Structure 1
Amino acid sequence: MEQFPIFLNLKSFPCAVVGGGEVAFRKITALLKAKAELTVISPELSPELQNLLAQKKFTYIAQAYSEALIKDMRLVVAATDNETLNESIYHYCEANKILINAVDQPSACRYTTPSIVDRSPVVIAISSAGASPVLARRIRAMIETSLPKSLGEIASFAGSIRSKVKAKFNTIDLRRDFWERFFTSSIMTRFDSMSSQDKSELVERLLNKENTGGEVWIVGAGPGDEELLTIKALQKMQYADVIVHDRLVSQNILNLARKDAEFICVGKEKNLHLKKQDEINDLLVELALEGKKVCRLKGGDPFIFGRGGEEIETLVAADVPFEVVPAVTSASGCSSYAGIPLTHRDYARKVVFITGQNSKAGVEPDWEALVRPYQTLVFYMGLTRADLIKQNLVRLGMAENMPVAIVEKGTTPQQKVYIGDLAALPEMREKYQIGSPALLIIGEVVNLHNKLAWFTPEKVEADTSFINIK
């Protein structure tokens, strides 16, 4: 460890920044946030610093640097564009036991400033000891995604009940047990939506070691690419005690979940249901009533042919707290990665999502409404009905040469895009044994694929052998 990490209280601490430009502004802003007693030394100030000076945020010495100006300081930042001057400031500070940081000059620093995740009073600092500040910022961004935005408020609330916890439990072990239960309770996930009474009641149940109840999060996993997960989806996956997931949620996505969580696959595919939908609904309720935090992870978006509404109806009936985390839906993700815009003012002014799987026998799509000019059709789970889709659309007037695209395993390294026309649709499916998941797109916008396709997975060559199949 080249540097010792330390958090320094700068309140009423005499600090100086030498420099008045953009770099100095960034350092000055951070020091002011830490309530430093700040002096800025520079012949000129940037407009941003002039604005802060007008607000009397710091003391300003409108002079070129001299040693006498920093002799009473305890911390100095050299933020000029003159490396020789910064070196000189460094040597003076070293000789006079003043903490010194010369911006972007690691050899002229007694201390370095870390990349900071600020959820005051919680502060996380990441440092590369000056070797790679950009990497430190990247790590900060990774950490930011895993922390709830209300973390600082949660920490303050925890501080407000410490005396009550100490009075209730007279040993360190008992208090530690309480805090473990507190920070794994719904306080971490529903703090913003809880009333003051809700929070107080939760604390009382925790103090009395009662079951505080579970909750369920209906979370969209997106179309396949794990980098398309939302920040909130990732947070829920990392907080959950149990991950109840579909078969098509990839292992790469599951690997991002909490490592010690219980994983239950309830996936469905044609002619194989690990669990019926009613059983899944009941399972979510059962797990929540056991006091567990349950992440119901669904491919695509939960509210677009994902049966999220059905599962929530069951949770409402059982009075189980829940939250819905929407996602990049399969239609949006797969079409984007295939270079096929769902709408385009020259080709499509409307997009229609249709499911190929109907829940009620005999209920069919409004085929006549689907045969309209200037619209794009997106069929979810429609390949097994390719013949029926072609027959009905052609019967009602859609041209047999209407462009179609089948996007297989969209947004993943295994993505393939098959291009043809409506007449060739059943043949495409049968001849090439296209696997699941696959999305069917029908409309003039498909013609844009060759021009706009941008995603070519490294492990799968772009396949154009299906263009203009007859």
Structure 2
Amino acid sequence: MPAPLFPLFIDLRDRRVLVVGGGAVARRKIDALLASGARVVVGAPALEPSVATLVAEGRIEHIAGRFDPNWLNDAWLVVAATDNPIINRAVCTAAEARRVWANVVDDASLSSVQVPSRVERGPLQVAISSGGGAPMLARHLRERLERELDESLGDLAGLLDRERERIRQRFPEIGARRRFFDALLAGPVPSHLRRGDHGAAQAAFDAALATDASPARGSVALVGAGPGDPGLLTLRGLRVLNEADVILHDRLVSDEVLALARRDADRIEVGKQVGGDHDATQARIHALLVEHARAGKRVVRLKGGDPFVFGRGGEELDVLHAHGIDFEVVPGITAAVACAAYAGVPLTHREHAQSVRFVTALGRDGSDPVDWPALARERQTLAFYMGVSGLAHLRDQLIAHGRAPGTPFALVENGTRADQRVVTGTLDTLPEAAARHAVKAPALLILGEVAASAEALHWFGPQPLRLDSPARREPTMAEAA
């Protein structure tokens, strides 16, 4: 997979830009460049009439003849817009030698810079790029945004641009300035501009600027990040992430979820390592929550899954309550619900399971607190939050207490993520199947008659594996390199 393009907006005002080609395609590029204030030079043997008109009006310069690499002298950017691939390649090669950015129309492989699809609302621009690989998708998204983004956003961007210095003087501290913008954009100014009442919008802006944006106190939001797929984050969770000053996140929170957070928020990983001192780590988390909230920060404690399902959310709220710190809880989709859904396993079923139990393997002191006789009863689904450790012990205890050896299971590794794998089988072969396919944490075990549905109802990721499926092969050193 090639690296993504780095998005960048370029100031081309009064800078020389060369366009090679004088036809209709070149004309479209020339119009966009002129709108950006570029000093456009067109090199071509002949010009399409509308391009010739621009030359006659003195708006662009024309160099007649076939492409010469010297045309690139003093150019900041070159656009190859001819219908001759040999000329386009020559332009690209000459530009590369001179370290001039080049865009070859409709040929991403030759281009060192891409021109994105754009949605413009005054000074506000939204750029969309597929790296040249899927231009029709980019166009489709642009058309959607054209419908969804109100024209008044241009007026709003203009107002904020004019008032930028007043805002910075009134709120020199970045946190207060951000709170001002949050309140302003949620207030009446945008609606006044949508109605075209610029006077009322200015008055509302002035009133907002006069208010005190300093926070009364810090706060903490416990947010469930879900099991990994960023699409499963709730809207409230997304909103809180974009308001956070500090984010304390677990090790298993996916990079894709973290990428949705505000870019300038401080991110602190507080995940617990296997075999580490979990109580010491939890004490550090408590201390960080209190420290940052008392400093007036809006803190998000971002937890994989749901904060109140094996997430120690209750312990953290106890600490916040004891210190008089404001808090809220934003639920997340817990791993059992998400992994079962993505594996095609209904946790309950009228014919097979009238209840479901969420089980963790260890208590606070590391003991085995599981009520094995209760778990061994039939017609219920068990969801074990235990990774892949202790599977042999689990199998032996359940069978010893009466659970049928042929009870189906589905072991879901990296549930909801792009690399999700599902291993299925029966309870008596559980540890052997997990070992054969080298299942690793994070993994969730679903046990019960409903787990057999994974074979037929599976819909996400590769087909489920069984004990007799080919084992996972680790890459060789040469392949890894």
Distance in 2, matches of 1:276 and 1:372, equals 36
Match of residue 49 from structure 1: none
SS of aligned partner of 2:292: helix
- Alignment partner, residue 83 of structure 1: none
Are the counterparts in 2 of residues 356 and 382 from structure 1 also a CA contact under 8 Å?
Answer: no
CA contact (8 A) 1:237 1:256 kept: yes
Specify which of 408, 422, 435 is matched with residue 427 of structure 2: 422
Name the Cα RMSD after superposition: 4.2
Does residue 270 (structure 1) correspond to residue 297 (structure 2)? The answer is: no
8 Å CA contact 1:420, 1:467 repeated in 2:
no
Tell me, in whole angstroms, the C-alpha distance in 2 between the residues paired with 1:319 and 1:439.
Answer: 36
**Alpha carbons of 1:349 and 1:138: their partners in 2 closer, same or farther (altered >3 Å)?**
farther
Amino acid in the other structure paired with 1:328: I
User: TM-score, with normalisation over the residues of structure 2?
Assistant: 0.57
Cα displacement (A) at 1:251: 1.1
Write the letter of the residue equivalent to 1:385: G
Aligned to 1:41: none
Q: CA 1:263 to 1:140, structure 2 compared with 1: closer, same or farther past 3 Å?
A: farther
Measure, in 2, the Cα distance between the counterparts of 1:188 and 1:390.
56
| Identical amino acids, percent of aligned pairs | 40
Residues 243 and 264, structure 1, Cα contact 8 Å, conserved in 2: yes
- The separation in 1 between residues aligned to 2:143 and 2:334, in whole angstroms, is 30
- Residues 216 and 137 (structure 1 numbering): CA distance in 2 closer, same or farther, change over 3 Å? farther
Residue-by-residue CA offset, 1:186-240 (whole Å, 9 max, x unaligned): 9869x99xxxxxxxxxx9xx97897632111100110111111111111111111
Classify 1:394/1:230 alpha carbon distance in 2 versus 1 (closer, same or farther; 3 Å).
same
The one of 246, 253, 264 equivalent to 1:249 is 253
Aligned length: 316
Residue equivalent to 1:312:
317
Report the Cα distance in structure 1 between the residues aligned to 2:417 and 2:433, rounded to whole angstroms.
21
Contact 2:409 2:445 in 1 (8 A): yes
Deviation digits for residues 369-412 of structure 1, max 9, x if unmatched? 11222110000025212122112111111111111111000001
Equivalent of 1:258 in 246, 259, 262:
262
Distance change (3 Å), C-alpha of 1:430 and 1:252: same
CA distance in 2: counterparts of 1:420 and 1:292, whole angstroms: 49
Any idea what SS the aligned residue of 2:251 has?
Answer: coil
Matched, 1:343 2:338: no
Deviation at 1:454, TM superposition (A): 0.7
For residue 141 of structure 1, report the CA deviation from its aligned partner. Answer: 10
Equivalent residue for 1:219? 223
Distance 1:351 1:341 in 2: 10
**CA shift at 1:361, angstroms?**
4.4
Contact 1:418 1:463 in 2 (8 A): yes
SS in 1 for 2:256: helix
- Given that 1:178 and 1:207 are in contact with CA atoms closer than 8 Å, whether structure 2 keeps it comes out as no
Could you say which residue in structure 1 is the equivalent of 2:467?
Answer: 466
Q: TM-score, normalised by structure 1?
A: 0.58
Secondary structure class of the residue paired with 1:383: coil
Aligned to 1:400: 405
Cross-structure match for 2:294:
289
Runs (5+) with no aligned partner, structure 2: 1-30, 33-118, 129-136, 151-155, 157-165, 188-206, 471-481
Instruction: Summarize the Cα distance change of 1:179–1:249 in structure 2 as closer, same or farther, 3 Å threshold.
Output: closer
Specify the SS of the correspondent of 1:454.
coil
Unpaired segments of 5 or more residues in structure 1? 3-114, 116-123, 145-154, 156-170, 193-202
Aligned equivalents of 1:308, 1:449: Cα separation in 2: 31
Please say if 1:238 is aligned against 2:242.
yes
Number of the residue aligned with 1:387 = 392
Mapped contact 2:223–2:303 kept (Cα < 8 A): yes
Conserved? CA contact 2:433–2:466, under 8 Å: no
CA displacement at 1:320 relative to structure 2: 0.8
- Assess if the C-alpha contact under 8 Å between 2:436 and 2:467 holds in 1: no
Tell me how far 1:177 sits from its aligned partner. Answer: 4.3
- 2: CA distance, partners of 1:387 / 1:326: 33
Whichever residue aligns with residue 176 of structure 2, its letter is R
| Matching residue's letter, 1:232 | R
Q: CA deviation at 1:311?
A: 0.7
For structure 1, which segment, 427-436 or 323-332, has the greater mean C-alpha deviation from structure 2 after superposition? 427-436
Aligned partners of 1:346, 1:380: CA distance in 2, in Å? 25
Does the CA-based 8 Å contact 2:167-2:177 persist in structure 1?
no
CA deviations 1:31-75 (Å, max 9, x no partner) are xxxxxxxxxxxxxxxxxxxxxxxxxxxxxxxxxxxxxxxxxxxxx
Q: Structure 2: how far apart are the matches of 1:374 and 1:141? A: 51
Matched, 1:321 2:341: no
Do residues 356 (structure 1) and 357 (structure 2) align?
no
